Amino acid sequence: MTASDLIAEVQQAGGQIHTDGEHLYLMAPDPLPIELRERLRERKAEILAELRQRQAEYEAAQQIRCMREKGTVPEHYSAITICSHCGPVPIFPGVPETVEGCVWCFNRVKGLPMPRVRQRRFRPVVMGRTVAGVQVCIDGDKGERA
């Protein structure tokens, strides 16, 4: 049983675990079984590490959301998708080429800055051969990126 499993077990029992420095606190409408509290005590270090990692992930997600709200393209948004509402937008890799809605839709609806994506035809010469394609530039706060 992992620390995540124990945290989930507490939540299924209607409780929550909080940390404050090196301490774990349990909040539950009814006292949790003593056997569960014993297991939590035994695995305290792992639970603390798990909760800290979750907090760090949450803070990173909040930071990315704040960047997007300013129209800033997060560093890892290295792909392009075509949103049916926003048009071409920068996105993280793995998103389909076209989507019905995107992470920038919130900006569009709220009138917040939108990233600009420019596409232009080009014929670069690669190893002596001309290659046709589309070059995509993303304007973020760190300047132009391909």
For the four alpha carbons of 18, 20, 23 and 29, in that order, the dihedral sign comes to negative
Q: How far is the CB of 91 from Zn ion (least distance, A)?
A: 10
Nearer to Zn ion, 51 or 105 (CB): 105
DSSP of 73-135, one letter per residue? PPTT--EEEEETTTEEEEE-TTS-SEESS-TTHHHHHHT----EEEEEEE--EETTEE--EEE
Which of residues 48 and 80 has its CB atom nearest to Zn ion in the complex? 80
Helix (H, G, I), strand (E, B) or coil at 69: helix
Query: Smallest distance, Å, CB 14 to Zn ion?
Result: 38
Smallest gap from Cβ 105 to Zn ion, in A, equals: 4
Positions that interact with Zn ion (CB under 5 A):
83, 85-86, 102, 104-105
Closer by beta carbon to Zn ion, 83 or else 138: 83
